[in-house]
């Protein structure tokens, strides 16, 4: 993907794929090196400028959560240092921003949990009174907290397509009842524990998405990244009001700036970002990390 070319590539490992944010390399045939770049996308377009520390924040935050939640379900981390599988000249490209993981058979479901009703979930509720086939009481306001978190799966779409929300029954049809029920129970438990903890740190996790894979013994393993600003909606508690959709914690400054660029049609190439916007955004990522973990990056 040429739009992803603003991050340097490793030369010693085969690149399997490059998403909007991450570059994924094969390490032998049983492991992956997932490198989180400083790329930022807004309105689905990757900005030209990297955001300093963004990749380190996302990676370190995911590691923080994997460790905190490992009693709920096994995860894909091998425990080996990413630096151990690259050449010496590549160490600065991976240090602090990568995970060395087991290569799993992906379950083609995005396991979404919502504690608050916002975004596509709120839209679906307005249109149908339900989300992913789960009927909800009338009169729920935008961004309102639900009585209990709900599991609203989506089918993973091919590259460039949007994921499709499906009902739990459809998920059962696709992957079988045992796996579907296990994923639902584990996802709700992960969300419950993470959001209870985040609340003690002044952050609401409005919703989030998990991905799972199966290992060689068909055991369920939590994979990808978890509970980062890319996979979740984080809201500072003090800015939360039901009825309005709170601004994005991480991308707010970029989106606000882009809204002022009336000449941009939201197609690549993006307009250049002012240094003040880049710095404010970088600070925001560090702030998310520091607030959630209580540590400085």
Applying CB under 6 A, the residues found at the interface with ligand ATP are 17, 19-22, 24, 32, 76, 101-104, 106, 211, 213, 223-224
CB 239, min distance to ligand ATP, A: 26
CB 253, min distance to ligand ATP, A: 21
User: Which residue lies nearer to ligand ATP by CB, 8 or 242?
Assistant: 8
CB 50, min distance to ligand ATP, A: 15
User: Which residue lies nearer to ligand ATP by CB, 145 or 248?
Assistant: 248
CB 293, min distance to ligand ATP, A: 22
Residue 269 · residue 48 · CB < 8 Å: yes
User: Which residue lies nearer to ligand ATP by CB, 31 or 68?
Assistant: 31
| Nearest residue (beta carbon) to ligand ATP | 19
CB 77, min distance to ligand ATP, A: 9
Distance CA 106, CA 183 (A): 13
User: Which residue lies nearer to ligand ATP by CB, 143 or 208?
Assistant: 208
For the packed helices 177-200 and 168-175, what is the interaxial angle rounded to 10 degrees?
130
CB 80, min distance to ligand ATP, A: 13
User: Which residue lies nearer to ligand ATP by CB, 55 or 146?
Assistant: 55
User: Which residue lies nearer to ligand ATP by CB, 22 or 97?
Assistant: 22
């Amino acid at each position: 993907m040429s739009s992803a070319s603003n991050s340097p590539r490793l030369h010693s490992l085969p690149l399997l794929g490059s998403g909007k944010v991450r570059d994924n390399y094969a390490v032998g045939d049983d492991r992956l090196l997932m490198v989180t770049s400083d790329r930022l996308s807004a309105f689905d377009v990757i900005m030209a400028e990297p955001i300093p520390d963004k990749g380190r924040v996302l990676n370190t935050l995911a590691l923080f959560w994997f460790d905190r939640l490992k009693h709920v379900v096994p995860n894909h981390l091998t425990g080996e240092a990413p630096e151990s599988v690259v050449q010496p000249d590549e160490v600065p490209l991976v240090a602090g921003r990568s995970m060395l993981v087991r290569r799993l058979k992906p379950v083609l479901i995005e396991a979404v949990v919502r504690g608050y009703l916002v975004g596509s979930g709120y839209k679906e509720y307005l249109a149908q009174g339900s989300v992913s086939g789960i009927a909800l009481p009338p009169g729920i306001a935008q961004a309102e907290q639900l009585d209990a978190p709900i599991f609203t799966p989506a089918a993973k779409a091919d590259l460039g397509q949007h994921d499709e929300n499906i009902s739990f029954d459809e998920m059962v049809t696709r992957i079988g009842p045992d796996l579907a029920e296990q994923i639902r129970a584990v996802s709700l438990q992960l969300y419950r524990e993470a959001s209870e903890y985040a609340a003690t740190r002044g952050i609401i996790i409005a919703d989030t998405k998990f991905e799972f894979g199966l290992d060689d013994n068909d055991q369920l393993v939590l994979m990808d990244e978890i509970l980062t600003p890319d996979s979740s909606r984080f809201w500072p508690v003090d800015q939360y009001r039901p009825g309005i959709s709170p601004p994005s914690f991480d991308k707010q400054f970029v989106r606000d700036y882009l809204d002022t660029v009336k000449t941009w049609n939201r197609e690549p190439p993006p307009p250049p970002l002012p240094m003040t916007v880049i710095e404010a955004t970088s600070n925001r990522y560090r702030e998310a990390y520091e607030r959630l973990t209580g540590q400085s990056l």
